[in-house]
Structure formats: C-alpha cells, structure tokens
Amino acid sequence: MLTGPLPISDSMGTPGLDLLLKARHFHFNKNKLSGPIPAKLFSSNMSLIHILFNGNQLSGSIPPTLGLVKTLEVLRLDRNALTGSVPDLSNLTNIIELWVLFHNIYIVVVFF
C-alpha cells in the first residue's frame, strides 16, 4: 500500500511522477496517498490515458494543469477529500470516463 504525498521532482534533483512523460497509466487507486494533487504533476507533454487516484486521502483542489493532459481517457478522483470546483477540462477531448466526488455527491460522466 502506498502512503504519503504524490511524489514530484524537486530542486534537489529527486525525481518524481512528473518526469514520467511517456507513462500511459497512473493507477494509484485504493491506497493511502494524502495531501494535495500537485499542479506540477501534469503537463501537456504527458501521454497518460488513465489517471486512477480514487480511494485515497487526497485533499485540496483539482489542479487546472490536469486539463493539459490531452491524451487522457479515464479520470477517477472519487473517494478522496477534494474540495473546490472542477477546473476547466474542456481540452480533454479524448475523455470517456470522468469520476469525481464533491460534497458527497458523485459526478460520473461516461462518454460513448
């Protein structure tokens, strides 16, 4: 089981998930990841098609940089402690599943 914050690169040279530009899947669901989703985690150079962060203890808001990952098809952020509003995700033209949970209300969008 993974615990703690989502790792991103830092000024000390420690590598993080943000350097995995050719990764297709971030399947980190059903762990004990905590803290905010770092804005630096996402960029337009990424090739991700699945981001599964559901079932963790992530908090804070969804970073607007998530909308830069144009290859994304499945996004699951439900069952966390996220707050705020959903940022503009209109660039995610390949999305087929979007799961978020705000104020105990599930928002599930499935596109065919």
pLDDT in tens, 47-80: 999 999 999 999 999 999 999 999 999 999 999 9
| pLDDT at residue 101, rounded to an integer | 76
- Distance between CA 27 and CA 17 in Å, rounded? 12
Instruction: Report the relative pairing of strands 81-82 and 57-60 from DSSP bridges.
Output: parallel
Q: For all residues of the chain together, what is the average pLDDT?
A: 92
89: domain CATH number is: 3.80.10.10
| pLDDT at residue 103, rounded to an integer | 56
| pLDDT at residue 64, rounded to an integer | 97
48 Rama class: left (phi>0) / alpha (psi -120 to 50) / beta: beta
pLDDT surpasses 80 at 30: yes
Identify the DSSP state of 84.
Answer: S
How many domains, in total, are found in the chain? 1
Owning domain of residue 7: 3-110
100 confidence band (pLDDT: 50, 70, 90): confident
